[in-house]
Structure 1
């Protein structure tokens, strides 16, 4: 079995961003009880049969946790969980919630990768997105991280904002690439149900850009970042080399086992997925009583597993490994999808060579529609 990944959800933010649908709360007074509950969950979920080579603390905003709380969490992980040598340990940090001293402490406690929620290098965009930081705080965070000894930094950016032009997005890309970080994630803005921004969309207060413009922005992203030395390895993710890809996130796309801790976190060990309650108080209460805070679970059937393998695999530039697919499902890609492969290949949307099925850059623009063509044949 391939090494698993450990995800820890820190469900606290100083302020909820209007576009974000990840579970978080702004009541920081619950942090002490949350940390105690998380330590119990770490112990209860420890599985000696699993070895891990990634730990990812996401949120929420993990950098709003006090340093000593984060230290206790990581110490408990190292005590209870079998971590392999050279484990990738990532913490998400948001500019405006972190200091130079904090980042130095992170490095000293064994964190070796940071993912920085920049989102934009333009003040107007940050204001529209409801971010609490400034552009200067983004560059300060990067500078402090380098000074602390971090040599593996990722930045998140968002494009496809209302009123955003292709030229202005190109300016963001130029400034991001100029920071010389090792990894960039460039996501299109989505209007998720239940968010303030989706309500604004329904009520006509904001208008999304044309789909053709968003497609042009994606194309520009690939071109500009390639020129700057970044290799695309997933629809939205770029790294300076294969070794600098997010090792943790690749586990989700390859269906490698992962364990999720914290409110709303998901765990996966084929063929079963389970997830925790989306309620901090309930999470704390369950673990205070020695109970895992499981909210639900599902066992995927073979057709559902194939569907997920196609949807997730086609998002990556490596694509779907035919040999791995055959070993996993007992059927070849050609047997299941021969007609679709031939037709979409002729349209220039994908390639199938040396047993590997992957989308072209043009196919990546239509990834969901292309994947749907395959799923119809499952």
Structure 2
């Protein structure tokens, strides 16, 4: 499997209440300088990464770039690396940003997968989350994207929000599957300490969903979307068939090499992982000084690689191929952990099928624990 390229665009118009990713509100004047630094950063990796079959623009808010800026960046990528003719090129979008005309330009320059950060179709919840778009803007963005030719269209939704119950969440899902979307990412609200919501919770404002309530949301989501024809292929991700599975994100779950460009972006190749400096100021200074903007790196041991392989594979419906795992890491899980595997199977959390150890729907709900086999 070819490597993937991730480009982190660290700009936002405003910071969402739950967001812990590195982003800079109200710093759009720095975009031209950032894009020039991005182009120069690519040169540092030409010998290590020669080709990609996925490109993913994430953030931050990549839709603060103009279509022309996106197009020039894609051309810069093509100049520095080989991009497969059938490459999946994804960009994330805030519904309040690009117009139908903008989306048409993006489609024409080669972006073939769009992921729209809808989060909710309830204006009250959107306000609570600090989103700057409305439900109507989200619906319009989806309609516009379909009309200009985006067949591979996904949206992000969020559940477990204070005041939200499973019934209203299922209403949101019903509205979502009625849209022309091929992919859904459904995330539970996670409250990080250094966010607006984290500071609210520290002051004893509304509590986030508890563990049993989280499981209720998760299982209700999985059942509903399965009945609607979506494949639950990873803990948080659902696709209308295998053609619409995220090829880029699948690389993360299968230990496939990927290169991350931009502030705070992570990269992985063979047993080495490294990550860029988090600050845009430090990133620009490093590139201006002809230095790779790397903050730190680590080389994973065989044991660490084996644990990660289990952890990542058991987050997916594909699961873990036992014989391939044994050959690569020298561990016979079935032989060494037979009693535990049988217990997990009896509890309905895993199953064996065609040589794969696979999590069931209930197992996906506790996927992180399964990796501790």
| Structure 1 equivalent of residue 357 of structure 2 | 357
| Structure 1 equivalent of residue 320 of structure 2 | 320
Is 1:40 paired with 2:35?
no
Query: Are the aligned partners of 1:163 and 1:209 in contact in 2 as well (CA < 8 Å)?
Result: no
Is 1:262 paired with 2:262?
yes
Query: Are the aligned partners of 1:48 and 1:82 in contact in 2 as well (CA < 8 Å)?
Result: no
State the Cα deviation string for residues 45-72 of structure 1 (Å, max 9, x = none): 2236643110000000000012222121
C-alpha separation in 1, matches of 2:191 and 2:57? 25
| Structure 2 equivalent of residue 95 of structure 1 | 95
C-alpha separation in 2, matches of 1:194 and 1:337? 39
C-alpha separation in 1, matches of 2:267 and 2:275? 6
Report how far residue 117 of structure 1 moved: 0.2
C-alpha separation in 2, matches of 1:312 and 1:70? 31
Report how far residue 279 of structure 1 moved: 0.6
Is 1:17 paired with 2:12?
no
Secondary structure in 2 matching 1:263: coil
C-alpha separation in 2, matches of 1:15 and 1:340? 48
Aligned residues: 372
| Structure 2 equivalent of residue 8 of structure 1 | 7
Secondary structure in 2 matching 1:45: coil
| Structure 1 equivalent of residue 136 of structure 2 | 136
Is 1:342 paired with 2:318?
no
| Structure 1 equivalent of residue 168 of structure 2 | 168
C-alpha separation in 2, matches of 1:126 and 1:104? 27
C-alpha separation in 2, matches of 1:83 and 1:322? 33
State the Cα deviation string for residues 131-182 of structure 1 (Å, max 9, x = none): 0000111111111111211110000000000111111101110111110300
Unaligned stretches of 5+ in structure 2?
Answer: none
> Cα RMSD (Å) of the superposition?
1.3
The 4+ residue runs of structure 1 with deviation greater than 3 A are 47-50
C-alpha separation in 2, matches of 1:51 and 1:341? 39
| Structure 2 equivalent of residue 119 of structure 1 | 119
Question: Taking structure 2 as the reference length, what is the TM-score of the superposition?
Answer: 0.97
Secondary structure in 1 matching 2:155: strand
Query: Are the aligned partners of 1:47 and 1:81 in contact in 2 as well (CA < 8 Å)?
Result: no
Counterparts in 2 of 1:283-294, with a 5 A limit? 283-294=283-294
